[in-house]
Amino acid sequence: MGAFDRGFSRRTFLKGALGGAAAAAVGTVAVGAPSLTGCSSEDVPSTTAAAAAKMTPGTYEATGQGKHGAITVAVTVSEGAIDSIEVKDHSESPVMSENALEILPLKIVAMQSTNIDAVSGATLTSMGLISAVNAAVEQAGGRPSDLAANEEGIAVAQSMKPGTYSAQAMGCWTPNSIEGTRFGAAEVLEPVQVDVTVSEDRIEKVEVVTCTDVPHFKNPCIERIPAAIVEQQSVLVDAVTGATCTSAAILRATALALKEAGADLTGFSASPVRVTDSKTLSCDICIVGGGCSGTMAALAAVEAGKSIVILDKAGRIGGKGFCSSGISAAESQVAKDAGSTATADDLYKSLFEQSGGRANALLLKTIANASGETVDTLVAHGFKVDPPKANAKWDEAYMCATGKGQEKFDVLYNDYILKGDAEVLLETRATDLVLEGGRVMGVNAQCQDGSTVHVDCKAAIVGTGGFGGNTALLDRFCHTTNFYDRGLTTTCSGDGIVMCENAGAQLGPEIMPHMQEYGANQVCNFTANLIKYITYAGFLQVNPQGKRFVDESFAISDPMGYGCAALRVHGYYYIILDQSIVDELIEKGVGGYYNDEIDSYFDTAVVGRALVPLTTLEADLADAMEKGQAWKADSPEALAKAVGFADPQVFVQEYNRYNELCAKGVDEDFGKMPQMMNGYSGTLYAVRMAIPIMGTLGGVKVNERLEALDVNESPIPGLYVSGQEGSGFYSYPYYATKCSTSTYAYTSGRLAGLNAAAYVETV
């Protein structure tokens, strides 16, 4: 019988990130070996007593780079110490950053060291803050490494008023947003409410009273974080990997409740406990990643009678699969029963043509041929699947709808996978593959609590979901980091690609961002709100120089193909609105700009999502303007100056030219359909937009058996790669055929599981 395992914990099979000894006495921050998080080698304190820093007393302002922009601090120093730190300005996300920006300054002053741990879930914010403080110390003439670090820890005498205190913080979605309802959140969102019971000097109990976030995000957070806060007497415990927004809300609300009780938060700032335990597991097949592909691989392997261990760095299974709403499959029984005559060969030919011949035809054909059987397998294991619509357009002719949500994965694990010889280790990151004689013989991993795991196995299937959360790999393979991470890619940091490459695997020629057509912004959280839908009406768009650059209707007619590809050329762009447009969007949504002719031309799924009134638009624009990501003016000249175009006249000329073309009713420059050529007047807005990504596509080169290939095009024995980390199926730009990513993920995972199971019979 299988089991879930979260590392090492109080429960037999839920060995979670709370393991190890509690973190020091109540009200005390204990500091062990110095952490190098956020510090350069120059900043590492010596093991002997450091010389006192020689600083010129005063207050110094400096900045560091956070996740969403500069963090500015004012640091007051005396000759030998940091006396106070004030965060003056930042663009970091609310809730996610607040504990880091409030508590880390207190901790640095108490510790007299910037050599401290980053806050879990707010790593880049923490590093930006630490970097800014280091810069201020250097301005004062000192060196961070010369600070007289208090390496014995912080002792704080708490004098809280005993009782129970309540506080709130927003979780995964912003107030008034309805976006979470598509993924299972409540329609009316409420803040996360936490009740914290304290004695005079310790936290006695933490209870999450209200949380309307998506269940598969909130459940592991509610299960683990309150207990961790009490056990470690800290509001800086580890966030649940893959559910950082909800984690941050619980931790922030707890901190606010403690402040209400009169706590000094310095005394509740212990870093998460780390342990040095290790263990070894044995199985036939180790599966790295428990998303769509890893789950299907596990199901296939278990039902082939093989023992498996699944390693997943997130706090839940399913990966990004909860967002997936369907699979493009041909010749499934559910499609045949509905009268579909679309064949696997039709699907293959369509995808290959869309790829421009760049896809691996043999792999593509294998996936197309097996896609129907994949859907049949899912149906046989509890998935509720709707067949393709009878009147579907060509790009939806193969789409079998599965619905969003986590429940479909819970059924697969609880009713099938875990009833076999399977063990699942959550919050456990695979670090490297072990090869002997060129064959895969094991996988090494590290749990969130610092403990390590070695898995002895005969084969490994890698499906860790790409590298959308790794800026270094984005820069290496995509040649830019100018994307907006939708928050679903944070656990996808390219671990699988790196492991396979280190094991001798060849990388494929096409590795690309998995872009989306929504409006997004790297400072404001557009994707949690309705403002993201303003891309759908084909409003005037200009590049960073203020020039129009594309037929804007591509964002709807081919949103994830030509539409995204055109935007990627410039990295970011501006959408232009006027007041009449804003008023219309608030009242009617993007649907106010459609008629029957346009509706029949455009992507039906896009139109369906865009028809709701954009009730949060006014607040979203105000927030964007406050953060310097949107601008408002009474003329194109004034707007160009407000935005800061290098040559404002360029935008003015483009604006006037666009109005001229709208008056003609013909887009002579880019060919946009006349029905979408609407002129501008009066008060104008410009909104800066970036490209959001769901992750990345491509990586390790595989054959049609999903075996990883070495530089000689030979399979690496025992190594299989499935899902978004494999190369050969995708090409740039993304396929117009709906649900191609999930088609490949589910089907490649199932085939990898079957092929790996057959392989282990031979070794």
Alpha-carbon distance 239 to 516, whole Å? 27
Tell me what pLDDT residue 93 has: 81
628 and 720 belong to one structural domain: no
Query: Is the confidence at residue 27, as pLDDT, over 60?
Result: no
Tell me what pLDDT residue 19 has: 28
433 and 383 belong to one structural domain: yes
| Cα 489 → chain centroid | 3
214 and 230 belong to one structural domain: yes
Does residue 572 form part of some domain?
Answer: yes
**Omega before residue 733 within 30° of 0, cis:** yes
Beta bridge partners of 334: none
241 and 381 belong to one structural domain: no
285 and 394 belong to one structural domain: yes
The whole-number average pLDDT for the span 375-398 is 87
Domain boundary among 268, 300, 317: 268
Beta strands in 254-357 (DSSP E): 278-282, 285-288, 308-312, 326-328
Are the C-beta atoms of residues 748 and 489 closer than 8 Å to each other? no
Does residue 386 form part of some domain?
Answer: yes
CATH code where residue 68 lies: 3.90.1010
664 and 742 belong to one structural domain: no
258 and 316 belong to one structural domain: no
| Torsion sign, CA atoms 445, 249, 104, 198 | negative
Tell me what pLDDT residue 363 has: 98
Q: What is the pTM of this model?
A: 0.83
Query: Is the confidence at residue 134, as pLDDT, over 50?
Result: yes
3-state class (DSSP) for residue 251: helix
**Candidate from 19-28, 44-53, 430-439, 589-598 with smallest mean pLDDT:** 19-28
Are the C-beta atoms of residues 397 and 388 closer than 8 Å to each other? yes
Fill in the DSSP letter of residue 560: I
Task: Please report which confidence band the pLDDT of residue 602 belongs to, taking 50, 70 and 90 as the band edges.
Answer: low
Are the C-beta atoms of residues 529 and 179 closer than 8 Å to each other? yes
Are the C-beta atoms of residues 213 and 197 closer than 8 Å to each other? no
Does residue 582 form part of some domain?
Answer: yes
**Candidate from 42-46, 410-414, 445-449, 718-722 with smallest mean pLDDT:** 42-46
Query: Is the confidence at residue 631, as pLDDT, over 90?
Result: yes
Task: Please report which confidence band the pLDDT of residue 48 belongs to, taking 50, 70 and 90 as the band edges.
Answer: very low
Query: Is the confidence at residue 29, as pLDDT, over 80?
Result: no
CATH code where residue 545 lies: 3.90.700.10
Nearest-5° Cα angle at 724, 722 to 725: 70
Domain boundary among 154, 184, 213: 154
Tell me what pLDDT residue 528 has: 75
Alpha-carbon distance 95 to 366, whole Å? 46
Does residue 273 form part of some domain?
Answer: no
Query: Is the confidence at residue 413, as pLDDT, over 90?
Result: yes
Tens of pLDDT, residues 151-194: 666 788 899 999 999 998 887 766 666 555 555 566 667 788 99
359 and 233 belong to one structural domain: no
Closest alpha carbon to 129 in 166, 102, 155: 102
Q: CA 233, 239, 240, 242: dihedral to nearest 10 degrees?
A: 180
Query: Is the confidence at residue 218, as pLDDT, over 90?
Result: no
Does residue 516 form part of some domain?
Answer: no
- Number of domains within the chain: 4
DSSP H or E stretch at residue 598: helix 596-601
Does residue 3 form part of some domain?
Answer: no
556 and 577 belong to one structural domain: yes
36 and 123 belong to one structural domain: yes
User: Please, which residues have CB within 8 angstroms of residue 588's CB and are 6 or more apart in sequence?
Assistant: 613
CATH code where residue 231 lies: 3.90.1010.20
Task: Please report which confidence band the pLDDT of residue 217 belongs to, taking 50, 70 and 90 as the band edges.
Answer: confident
315 and 400 belong to one structural domain: yes
SS (H, E, C) 464-486: CCCCCCCHHHHHHHHCCCCEEEC
Does residue 22 form part of some domain?
Answer: no
Domain span at residue 192 reads 158-268
Most confident of 68-77, 140-149, 519-528, 708-717: 708-717
CATH code where residue 292 lies: 3.50.50.60
Calculate Rg over the CA atoms of the chain: 27
377 and 418 belong to one structural domain: yes
* CA–CA distances in Å: residue 707 to residues 409, 637, 720: 25, 58, 4
Count Cβ atoms below 10 Å from residue 284 Cβ, excluding itself. 23
Domain boundary among 268, 296, 311: 268
Beta bridge partners of 452: 278, 446
Alpha-carbon distance 250 to 253, whole Å? 5
Closest alpha carbon to 108 in 122, 87, 94, 124: 87
Alpha-carbon distance 666 to 669, whole Å? 9
Does residue 337 form part of some domain?
Answer: yes
